[in-house]
């Protein structure tokens, strides 16, 4: 498959023009013109680039790419090391940030809900990135938190009464603690995100809505993998998901 064809397909699939993002979405680093093997991962770290080179990838597809708003534009240090490896190996780098969070089937939020067995029933944020859903079987917070940790293979930080019953759930993957107030207003019993901030504790305690910080990386493993699997099936491409461990 031609690299340009792949980029255009992904841009259309993920509805890139809809989003005003903090980084460019799509092809970020140009490599070879043909793609037969795609490596997917959460972040285009040097470790992922090295693993993709070793795997013989033609393209790397990630959620967290490069060239973020307000970052130092100079190609030095960490940026130099990453770009040198990519350009030297002639590997394409494609990244999709908010468009990947949003997709109703393949996106990070959709896939996290699927992994956790949640039944989606709506969106709660103005930008439609926050999701709400229900548990088919209500359970105490401590049981639900253990379920989240078991699925994500990472013990979450949980704030709330361990014995309170959980029926309705709000969630938004990654660094989305800023959506907590909107989730509280939506009337959920618990909100799940990747990260947590100091004010989060007070809002959870004072609102009675529990908060689960399940890990930025852990909550965003599933969307990019789902996109890779979709591409492999649709275009008969080889796909390898590589998870670089991250405790955050």
Residue 144 sits in a domain whose CATH number is: 3.40.1390.30
Mean pLDDT for the stretch of residues 211-230 = 98
Q: Report the share of the chain in percent with pLDDT over 90.
A: 99
pLDDT, residue 241, reads 98
Residue 133 has pLDDT above 90, yes or no: yes
pLDDT, residue 88, reads 98
What pTM, to 2 d.p., does this model score? Answer: 0.96
| Residues placed in the known binding site | 63-64, 101, 216, 220
Q: CB–CB of 64/248 below 8 Å? A: no
Angle between helices 108-116 and 222-235 (to 10 degrees): 100
pLDDT, residue 85, reads 98
What number of CA atoms fall less than 13 Å from residue 40's CA on the CB side?
Answer: 21
Query: 169 and 78 in one domain?
Result: no
Strand ranges of the sheet holding 190-193, from the earlier edge strand across to the other edge: 118-123, 131-140, 165-171, 190-193, 210-213, 157-159
> Which pLDDT band, with edges at 50, 70 and 90, does 168 fall under?
very high
- 208 falls within a domain: yes
Query: 73 and 169 in one domain?
Result: no
Mean pLDDT for the stretch of residues 176-201 = 97
| Residues placed in the known binding site for a divalent metal cation | 63-64, 101, 216, 220
Domain boundary among 59, 85, 102: 102
pLDDT, residue 46, reads 98
pLDDT, residue 170, reads 98
- 226 falls within a domain: no
Mean pLDDT for the stretch of residues 110-136 = 96
Residue 183 has pLDDT above 90, yes or no: yes
Query: 170 and 112 in one domain?
Result: yes
Query: 37 and 66 in one domain?
Result: yes
Query: 208 and 121 in one domain?
Result: yes
Of 60, 52, 129, nearest in space to 94 by CA: 60
Residue 217 has pLDDT above 90, yes or no: yes
Residue 235 has pLDDT above 90, yes or no: yes
Range of the domain at 211: 108-218
> Which pLDDT band, with edges at 50, 70 and 90, does 126 fall under?
confident
In whole angstroms, give the CA distance from residue 219 to residue 152. 7
The total domain count for the chain is 2
In whole angstroms, give the CA distance from residue 120 to residue 71. 36
Q: What is the pLDDT of the chain when averaged over all its residues?
A: 97
In whole angstroms, give the CA distance from residue 231 to residue 222. 14
Distance from CA of residue 25 to its chain's centroid? 14
């Amino acid at each position: 498959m031609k690299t340009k064809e792949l980029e255009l397909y992904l841009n259309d699939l993920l509805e890139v023009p809809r989003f005003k993002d903090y980084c460019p979405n799509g092809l970020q680093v140009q490599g070879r013109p043909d793609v037969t093997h795609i490596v997917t991962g959460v972040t285009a770290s040097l470790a992922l680039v090295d693993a993709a080179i070793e795997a013989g990838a033609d393209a790397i597809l990630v959620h967290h790419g490069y060239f973020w708003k307000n970052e130092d534009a100079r190609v030095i240090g960490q940026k130099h090391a990453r770009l040198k490896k990519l350009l030297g190996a002639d590997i394409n780098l494609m990244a999709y940030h908010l468009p990947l969070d949003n997709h109703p089937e393949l996106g990070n939020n959709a896939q996290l809900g699927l992994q956790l067995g949640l039944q989606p029933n709506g969106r709660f944020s103005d930008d439609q990135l926050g999701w709400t859903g229900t548990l088919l079987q209500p359970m105490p917070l401590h049981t639900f938190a253990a379920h989240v940790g078991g699925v994500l293979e990472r013990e979450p930080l949980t704030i709330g009464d361990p014995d309170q019953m959980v029926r309705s759930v709000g969630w938004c993957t990654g660094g989305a603690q800023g959506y907590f107030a909107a989730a509280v207003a939506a009337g959920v019993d618990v909100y799940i995100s990747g990260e947590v901030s100091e004010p989060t504790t007070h809002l959870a305690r004072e609102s009675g809505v529990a908060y689960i910080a399940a890990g930025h990386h852990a909550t965003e493993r599933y969307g990019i993998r789902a996109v890779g699997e979709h591409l492999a099936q649709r275009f008969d491409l080889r796909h390898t998901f590589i998870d670089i461990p991250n405790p955050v």
